[in-house]
Amino acid sequence: MSWFMMSRSFQRLAMAGVLAGAGLVLAMGPAEAGNKPAKTVPVRLLSLNDFHGNLEPPTGSSGRMVDENGATVEAGGAAYVATHLKQLSDNNTLKVAQGDLIGATPLISAAYHDEPSVEFLGKLGVTASAVGNHEFDEGYAELRRIMRGGCHPVDGCSPAGEWKGADYSYLGANVIFKRPDASAEKEALAALGGQNTSSLRGLLREYGIPALPPVTVRWVNGVPIGFIGLVTQSTPNIVTSEGIKDLEFIDEVKAANVASKLLKLVGVKAQVVLVHEGDQVTAGQSPDACSAQPGTGNRIATQVDAEIDMILSGHSHQAYLCTVPDPKGGARLYSQGGSFGRVITKVDFQVDVRTRDVVRSSVVADNQVVTRTVIPDPDISTFVQTWKDRVAPVANKPIGRITADITNTGSPSGESSLGNLIADGQLAATKTGGNAQVALMNPGGVRTGLTYAGSPAGEGDGVVTYGEAFTVQPFNNLMQVVTLTGAQLKTVLEQQFTGGPNAQPFTKILQPSSNLTYTYSTGAAWGSKVSNLKIDGVDVTDGQSIRVAANNFLVGGGDAFLAFKDSTDLWSGPLDIDAFAAHFAANPSITPPVPNHITVVP
C-alpha cells in the first residue's frame, strides 16, 4: 500500500495546523482590507446519500417520494439533481455525500464499473463522501482504482477512455488494515513533515493504520470545515469477503472520536461526520420529520465526541431531520436524505471566526425533494444520453440461449421455471468456496420472464442478452452461503406462509434449486405445513447441518424470512447477476426447467 492518499490528506491537515498557528486564517478569508471581519461566517452543506448510480430517473416506487406537503411526487434523475443543486448553491456551499453512490446500480453505470456515476458526482461539485458498503462491492483494490484512476484490470478502459479518478475524496475513518505494512506508520508520520509526531503516533496507535483517508478539510469563507467519513461496521457481512480480506471495519464511534481528535490537533473545530449508517422511519412521513426509530445510526449520532457538530447519515434509504443530544448535552443535527438522488439535504450554519467552531444554535436543515418539475440540466442530460447510447451494445450482448420462454409466473405450488433456473445458477456459483448444497431465491427478486423472442431487440432466436438477464436480476445482490440446521431450513419454509409469528402478508414461495424437494399442505396449521423435505433425494433430518445459498437480502432476514438470521458460518460470494450469467455461459442452450420440486396437498 502506497501512502499516496494518506500523505496528501495529512499534508493538508498539517497545512491547516500551520495556518492556525500563524494566525493567517482571517487574512485568508473574504474579509477584505479595511473591513472589520464578521464575527461569524455562513456555511451551507448540500448532501446526497445512496445515489446508487441512478443517472436516469429511477422508476416505480424507487422514483417516488413523499414531499413536505405529504404528497407523493416523482423524484430523482441526474439532470434534475443537477438543476436542484445549482438552484440551492451559493458562494458558501460545500457538496458532500454519505456513500453507496456506486454499487447496486443500473446497467448504464454498472456496465462501466460505475465510472459514469463517479464522473457525474464530480461534475456536480461533490467534494467529499463517506464510503458506503457498496463502494466495496468490487473490492478494495477496485475502490482505490475508482478513487485514483486507471483502466479496469480485466475489462480495460471504458468508451470514455482512461479513467481519471474521482474528483471528490472518499473517506473511511473506521476502515483499517488488518496487517499494516511495517513502513506504513513511518510514512504517515513523515508525511506530516515532523509536526505533531508524538501526538499523531499516539493517535495512529490508538486505532491502527487507516486504509482510506479518515478525514479531509475544506475551507469556506476563511474557516476550515473538517469532514470525517464512516461506513457501517456491518460491511463485512454485506459485501464479498475476498475483496476486503485485508481490511477491518471497526466501531464507528471509536473511529470517529480518533478522527475528531486528529482534526482538533490541527485546529479544525467545525466537524461534520458523514456516515454510511442510519435508521428506519415511519412510512409516509415528511422528509423533514424526525420519525427515525433510534437504532444503529442514532447510537453513532448520540455517542460520537461532542466536538463533532453534526451527523449526516445514509444506508437505510430514509429521509429524516433529527436533533439529537451529544455526549455533553448539546444539540446536534442527525439527518438523512432518502436514496437514488430523490432528496438533497441542505444544512445552513454559522461558524464563529474566532473559535472556528460551529454555532450550534444556528444550524438549520431542510430536506429538499428532487422534483422533476424543474428544467433538467442540459449538460447532464447530454452526459446521461451519451452513456445510454454507449451501454446499448453491452445490453445487447448475447450471454446464452433458451429453447423456449422461461416464465416467472408461478405454477400452482408457487414455484416458477425461471425462479428454479436462477436458484440452480446460484447453487452452481456457490458450491466452490461456499460449499453450498441447496439454493433458495426470493420470488420478488425475479423481476420479469425471459422470452424466446427476446427483448427489446426481438431477435426471435432464443438468444438471451446481458440486458435481458440484468432486467431479470437488477439488484446486484450478493450471493451468500450460510449453515442452517434441518429444523431451521424447515422453519424458513414454514415462514413462506401467512399465519405464522413472522406475519407474512401473503404466501411467498422461495424458488428452490432443482435438488430440493418437499410437500406443503394448504390446510395444515402454520408450523406443520412442510413435510417430506429432501435434498438430492435424501430425507433432511432436524439435526443435520446444511449449507444454504441465498442472496444477502434473504440471508439478512428480508421478506420476513427471519429464520435466516439464526444461521451461522456466513460466506459471501459473487453478485447474483454474475451467477446468473455464468450459468448461461456454462449451459449454452437452456431448456426451461419444469417447476415440479414442490408438491401441494390439501
Shortest CB 317 distance to Zn ion, Å:
8
Beta bridge partners of 359: 350
Q: Which is nearer to Zn ion, 132 or 419 (CB)?
A: 132
> Hey, what's the cell of 255?
473511529
Residue type present at position 107? L
Q: Which is nearer to Zn ion, 133 or 513 (CB)?
A: 133
Q: Which stretch binds Zn ion (CB under 5 A): 34-42, 94-102, 455-463, 501-509?
A: 94-102
DSSP states along 281-343: --TT--TTS--PBPSHHHHHHHHS-TTEEEEE--SS--EEEEEEE-TTS-EEEEEEE-STT-E
Please list the helix, strand and coil fractions of the chain in percent, rounded to the nearest 5, in that order.
30, 25, 40
Q: Which stretch binds Zn ion (CB under 5 A): 262-270, 311-319, 415-423, 432-440?
A: 311-319
Q: Which is nearer to Zn ion, 226 or 341 (CB)?
A: 341
Q: Which is nearer to Zn ion, 132 or 443 (CB)?
A: 132
Answer yes or no: are the C-beta atoms of 359 and 40 closer than 8 Å: yes
The C-alpha angle with vertex 47 and arms to 42 and 50, in degrees rounded to 5, equals: 170
Is residue 133 near Zn ion by the rule CB under 5 A? yes
Q: Which is nearer to Zn ion, 14 or 230 (CB)?
A: 230
Residue type present at position 177? F
Q: Which is nearer to Zn ion, 103 or 226 (CB)?
A: 103
Shortest CB 472 distance to Zn ion, Å:
23
Answer yes or no: are the C-beta atoms of 554 and 567 closer than 8 Å: no
Shortest CB 210 distance to Zn ion, Å:
20
Shortest CB 475 distance to Zn ion, Å:
13
Shortest CB 339 distance to Zn ion, Å:
9
Shortest CB 231 distance to Zn ion, Å:
8
Q: Which is nearer to Zn ion, 99 or 400 (CB)?
A: 99
Quick one: CA torsion of 450, 509, 490, 553, rounded to 10 degrees? 70
Site for Zn ion in 239-298 (CB under 5 A): none
Q: Residues 206-225 vs Zn ion: string with x where CB under 5 A?
A: --------------------
Q: Which stretch binds Zn ion (CB under 5 A): 15-23, 89-97, 314-322, 360-368?
A: 314-322
Is residue 132 near Zn ion by the rule CB under 5 A? yes
Preceding peptide of 456 cis, ω within 30° = yes
DSSP states along 12-40: HHHHHHHHHHHT-HHHHSS--TTSPPPSE
Shortest CB 457 distance to Zn ion, Å:
34
Is residue 552 near Zn ion by the rule CB under 5 A? no
Q: Which is nearer to Zn ion, 144 or 315 (CB)?
A: 315
CA atoms within 13 A on the CB side of 327: 10
CA atoms within 13 A on the CB side of 567: 28
Is residue 100 near Zn ion by the rule CB under 5 A? yes
Beta bridge partners of 219: 224
- Cβ contacts of residue 433 below 8 Å, gap of 6+? 571, 573
Shortest CB 296 distance to Zn ion, Å:
12
Is residue 315 near Zn ion by the rule CB under 5 A? yes
Shortest CB 365 distance to Zn ion, Å:
21
Q: Which is nearer to Zn ion, 315 or 342 (CB)?
A: 315
Shortest CB 299 distance to Zn ion, Å:
16
Is residue 350 near Zn ion by the rule CB under 5 A? no
Phi, then psi, of 259 in degrees rounded to 5: -65, -35
Q: Which stretch binds Zn ion (CB under 5 A): 114-122, 142-150, 180-188, 315-323?
A: 315-323
Total chain residues near Zn ion (CB under 5 A): 4
Q: Which stretch binds Zn ion (CB under 5 A): 64-72, 85-93, 313-321, 369-377?
A: 313-321
Q: What Cα–Cα distance (Å) separates residue 538 from each residue in 187, 486, 516, 541?
A: 59, 12, 9, 9
Is residue 52 near Zn ion by the rule CB under 5 A? no
Q: Which is nearer to Zn ion, 342 or 597 (CB)?
A: 342
Q: Which is nearer to Zn ion, 43 or 555 (CB)?
A: 555
Shortest CB 312 distance to Zn ion, Å:
14
CA distance 443 to 560: 13
Shortest CB 17 distance to Zn ion, Å:
33
Q: Judging by beta carbons within 10 Å of its beta carbon (0-12, 13-18, 19+), is residue 523 exposed, middle or buried?
A: exposed
Residue nearest to Zn ion as judged by C-beta position: 315
Strands (E) in 499-597, as ranges, are: 511-512, 516-521, 530-535, 538-539, 545-551, 568-575, 589-590
Read off the DSSP letter of residue 262: H
Read off the DSSP letter of residue 224: E
Shortest CB 421 distance to Zn ion, Å:
29
Q: Which stretch binds Zn ion (CB under 5 A): 98-106, 281-289, 423-431, 454-462?
A: 98-106
Q: Which stretch binds Zn ion (CB under 5 A): 132-140, 337-345, 350-358, 439-447?
A: 132-140
Q: Which is nearer to Zn ion, 40 or 129 (CB)?
A: 129
Number of helices and strands in the chain (H, E): 17, 28
Is residue 137 near Zn ion by the rule CB under 5 A? no
Residue type present at position 1? M
Q: Which residues of the shown chain bind Zn ion in the complex (CB under 5 A)?
A: 100, 132-133, 315
